[in-house]
Amino acid sequence: MLMKTADQTLTEQLASHFAERIRSRLLAAGARLPSVRQCAQQQQVSASTVVAAYDRLLALGLVEARKNRGFYVRDLMQNGAPAQDLYALKATQSIANPARRPIDATALMRGMFQGDSDTPQPGMGVLPPDWLANSFMPAAVRRVAAGTADFSRRYGDPAGDLGLRQSLSKKLLGLHVPAAPEQIITTVGATHALDIASRTLLRAGDCVMVEEPGWAVEFARLEAMGMRILPVPRNADGPNLEVMARYCEQHAPKLFVSVSVLHNPTGFCLTPGSAHRVLTLANAHDFYIVEDDTYSHLAPAHATRLCVLDGLQRTLYASGFSKILAPGWRVGFLAAPTALVDRLTNTKLLATLTTPSLLEKALAWCIDQGQLRRHSEGVRARLDQARTRSTKLALAAGCTFASEPAGLFGWVETGVDTDALAQRMLDEGYMLAPGALFHASRQPSSLMRINFANTQDAAFWKVFARVRG
């Protein structure tokens, strides 16, 4: 709430509040500010105070007024909008907590990197740190470090530690993925694997099909590389084949990025029939498929994967261990067709030279000793219990699920605009993941993604129900 002080008028405080949110992208470009009446009610100030605050934001070039439509956040990176006055209204003294992170494509990543709050955050994309605690990983590092240290005094194998690639090859056989060690490249996490694939197979201006709703970071990453994003609606059984076929005829896409198993954010899993038709399209129209299996450790081994049916001919398989084991280690990998391995390795060399052998050797030991498998089984059991509790609380709060609850995330129907709801929940100390984030072009949505592990507390749902109204 705004408060009268000797340092700032209510108008200055309200203007600072919005200026800070715009500066840190808590309010994205194109977002609509609350109407004057709504803002006055929310902040318990007069309409004239709101009008004066909005006028200040207009003068600074942070917002624009659209006739009969309201005030909208300007894109500070385009159209010559001035950014130099962002702090002019004492934004650093804003009532908005400056430690909060932006609700945009990078919000969830920043939240993973910094523990801004001890309160479990429903919008985060990772498991709670205490779920990942174990003793075998430090033991593995000590074991490797105590042995020969020659590997630490020279660059490692460009493709990654051979021992880890051998371990990964055996592990992938358990999923029926036919990847020899020579077809595997280690990476700095699964996101790096996706980036290597994109930079190897694409050039600026190429068309890429991406499932929608989908991972916000993937949309932002491809857009930053200059790609033309073709959103493919994701259904319960897989991507919309009619839309894909139309894209193939009209745009000749070079790549399709898919999360076949425990799709983010819906939790959908691909069916064999849909997988077969996707591969038929890929062969007929000559495009590659990058299969992101980031959540493989939380999924059943028998789940349908495109690369299993395809045998790594037109598919590339990306995964990692940050979600289940060691976020700070940043160890991931890419399994690919033999003909692409050299090109992919060259792309890796240009970006990172090699990847850390110490951590890769330690991870190989964790896999070979069965430590990773046992740890994953325990996490899955704990997540099953959390999902049951969170689902009951969400339903009791008046929400419904747009898809069957599965995996780490729930795709929840709230009945209200979740962009606006997310802004109000920030004032209560909770960061939501509004549905608009999961679309290639931001658009109003009443859906939100929740993390089942972080939404087991009835206190969150009580606040949610009150704020939603």
Local confidence pLDDT in tens for the 469 residues of the chain: 677 665 678 888 898 889 888 887 778 788 889 988 888 888 888 888 898 899 999 988 899 998 888 899 988 655 444 433 333 333 333 323 333 333 454 554 545 444 445 788 899 988 999 999 999 999 999 999 887 666 677 788 999 999 999 999 999 999 999 999 999 999 999 999 999 999 999 999 999 999 999 988 899 899 989 999 999 999 999 999 999 999 999 999 999 999 999 999 999 999 999 999 999 999 999 999 999 999 999 998 789 999 999 999 999 999 999 999 888 889 999 999 999 999 999 999 998 988 989 999 999 999 999 999 999 999 999 999 999 999 999 999 999 999 999 999 999 999 999 988 888 888 788 889 999 989 988 778 999 999 999 999 999 999 999 999 8
User: Please, which residues bridge with residue 433 across strands?
Assistant: 449
Compute φ and ψ for 129, nearest 5 degrees.
-55, -35
What residues have CB less than 8 Å from 291, skipping those under 6 apart?
258, 259, 260, 305, 306, 307, 315, 316, 317, 318
Compute φ and ψ for 411, nearest 5 degrees.
-105, 100
Q: Please tell me if the domain spanning 107-132+373-468 has the same topology as the one spanning 136-369.
A: no
What residues have CB less than 8 Å from 29, skipping those under 6 apart?
73, 74, 75, 76, 77
Tell me if 375 sits within 8 A of 223, measured CB to CB: no
Multiple choice CATH, 10-93, 3.30.565.10, 3.40.640.10, 1.10.10.10, 2.120.10.30: 1.10.10.10
Q: Domain 136-369 is in which class?
A: alpha beta
Which residue, 307, 104, 289, is CA-closest to 197? 289
- Report CA 407 to chain centroid distance, whole Å: 15
Domain ranges of the chain: 10-93, 107-132+373-468, 136-369
State the Cα–Cα distance between residues 112 and 411, nearest whole angstrom. Answer: 20
pLDDT at 369: 96
pLDDT at 454: 96
With respect to CATH, is domain 107-132+373-468 assigned 3.90.1150.10? yes
State the Cα–Cα distance between residues 404 and 44, nearest whole angstrom. Answer: 40
> Among all chains, which residue has been given the structure tokens 């984030």?
437
pLDDT at 441: 82
| Terminal alpha carbon distance of the chain | 18
This prediction has a pTM of: 0.80
